Chains A and B, each alone.
Chain A
Amino acid sequence: MDLSELERDNTGRCRLNSPVPAVCRKEPCVLGIDEAGRGPVLGPMVYAICYCPLTRLADLEALKVADSKTLSESERFRLFAKMEEDGDFVGWALDVLSPNLISTSMLGRVKYNLNSLSHDTATGLVRYALDQGVKVAQVFVDTVGPPETYQKWLQQRFPGIEVTVKAKADALFPVVSAASICAKVARDQAVKNWQFVEKLRDLDADYGSGYPNDPKTKAWLRKHVDPVFGFPQFVRFSWRTAQSILETEAEDVTWEDSQTGDQEGLGRIKSYFSESPRTRPHLPHRYFQERGLESATTL
């Protein structure tokens, strides 16, 4: 898979796609959606779609595609190569969401959670297929979380298409298995060849599976934490594992929208009855306060 565009800039999102098979613009198609790398604290999350004409579904099944989790890395690689060979009737497209995009979305002023990000990415990929002229008739989606609400949401967006959202769809529908293979191949390759934006010293390439409960991943996080900057952008700062390491091993950072504990400026109620006059600090004119200017007569 050619991920050179991602390797050039992995701070945002990156779309990759196969050419659209001509037959998919003529015949009604079935389209599968799946994701890879949702749970890990390291690396990108990849969303993929795979589609083929309904009449050729048996040919896709004949490739013996299966849920990517049940396949070894080399088997996934081999199956992806086969799908590429069958490019006259199988098409795919994927979105690589960089860990930086995931962090900045989830930690935004207006929180954009992983579910919304996932749903919007999936919708974007279906829309892309439609824009390319693919005659999408049926969509199958794998899901984590309750499938009913997600199905309703997707169905509303694509009224002319029959949408099926199901847990473990990647094991049930070959077109979803094929999408899961595309996503997993891209995620594995992206993680393996990750181009660190930062200039890190004695970078350790052994980061384990990237899952928060992997001791290797945890050890890697502890090794590469910087007291001021936290982690390299390869890390999802919004993950609890990352946050708790930062709490103990890095400096505190307060933002203008940080939650503050107690309200300052309110004295204890007893202070109103005490005899000593309340000392009021002499404040500069509002002009200076608004500009953050302080007099420098005393240094």
Chain B
Amino acid sequence: MESSDEDAVEERRVQLRPVTLHLLPCDVPVNRPAPVGRFFTPAIRQSPDGLEVSFRGRSLRGEEMVVPPGLVGYVMVTEEKGEDRFIQATSSFSSFTLWGLETIPGPDAKVRGALNWPSLAAAIHAKVPED
């Protein structure tokens, strides 16, 4: 998102490397690099009912999720240097793969609902036309 009210902030457009992302229906409570390209991506299969893969011996079904028009996804990384914290975008995305445990996440997926919020927010904050 861009800030328009703070003129002091210098605006720069940077081209970020697009990245492929997978959102899994489980928690791995660590933050570390994982060999996705060697273990996960080559195992994805296209079946008549969508994408299929397995993780840790459990079956996953997936579908592509597109970031709503007008918005861009960023992968943000926080870095702490002494007292200061730096938050920076490392890559961008316009779609990602959403995985469900054994079934396709479908229309009721939490993330799908979350992606509807920006358009609803825009609507409720829009100026009401005066008659």
Enumerate B51-99 residues with CB–CB distance to A below 8 Å.
52, 54-59, 78, 85, 87
Is B35 interfacial (CB-CB < 8 Å)?
Answer: yes
Is B48 interfacial (CB-CB < 8 Å)?
Answer: no
Interface size, A (range):
35 or more
Question: In the complex the two chains form, is A251's CB within 8 Å of B29's CB?
Answer: yes
Least CB distance from A237 to B in Å reads: 3
Residue of A nearest to B34 (CB): A228
Enumerate B31-47 residues with CB–CB distance to A below 8 Å.
32, 34-35, 37-40, 42-43, 45
Is A232 interfacial (CB-CB < 8 Å)?
Answer: yes
Residue of A nearest to B100 (CB): A256
Report A-chain residues with C-beta under 8 Å of the C-beta of B52. Answer: 11
Question: In the complex the two chains form, is B59's CB within 8 Å of A108's CB?
Answer: yes
Least CB distance from B8 to A in Å reads: 19
Report A-chain residues with C-beta under 8 Å of the C-beta of B45. Answer: 9, 11
Question: In the complex the two chains form, is A107's CB within 8 Å of B58's CB?
Answer: yes
State which of A107, A198, A257 has its C-beta within 8 Å of the C-beta of B42. Answer: A198
Report B-chain residues with C-beta under 8 Å of the C-beta of A208. Answer: none
Interface size, B (range):
20 to 34
- Measured between alpha carbons, how far is A252 from B32 in the docked complex, in Å? 13
Is A227 interfacial (CB-CB < 8 Å)?
Answer: yes
Report A-chain residues with C-beta under 8 Å of the C-beta of B117. Answer: 288, 291, 293
Is B111 interfacial (CB-CB < 8 Å)?
Answer: yes
State which of B28, B35, B116 has its C-beta within 8 Å of the C-beta of A253. Answer: B28
Report B-chain residues with C-beta under 8 Å of the C-beta of A197. Answer: 42-43
- Measured between alpha carbons, how far is A131 from B1 in the docked complex, in Å? 62
A255-B26, A256-B25, A291-B113 given; A200·B54 CB < 8 A = no
Question: In the complex the two chains form, is B114's CB within 8 Å of A255's CB?
Answer: no
Query: Count of A-B contacts with CB under 8 A?
Result: 100
Residue of B nearest to A257 (CB): B101
A109-B101, A256-B26 given; A104·B113 CB < 8 A = no
- Measured between alpha carbons, how far is A100 from B52 in the docked complex, in Å? 12
Enumerate A216-260 residues with CB–CB distance to B below 8 Å.
226-230, 232-233, 236-238, 242, 246, 251-257
Least CB distance from A230 to B in Å reads: 5
Least CB distance from A5 to B in Å reads: 15
Known: A103-B57, A237-B56. 6 other contacts (CB 8 A): A228-B39, A232-B39, A237-B58, A253-B26, A291-B110, A291-B117
Interface residues of chain B, those whose CB is within 8 Å of chain A, are: 25-30, 32, 34-35, 37-40, 42-43, 45, 52, 54-59, 78, 85, 87, 101-102, 110-111, 113-114, 116-117
Interface residues of chain A, those whose CB is within 8 Å of chain B, are: 9, 11, 100, 103-104, 106-109, 197-201, 226-230, 232-233, 236-238, 242, 246, 251-257, 288, 290-293, 299
Q: Considering the complex of A and B, which 9 residue pairs feature the smallest CB-CB distances, nearest first?
A: A237-B57, A103-B57, A228-B34, A104-B59, A229-B39, A291-B113, A291-B114, A199-B38, A254-B27
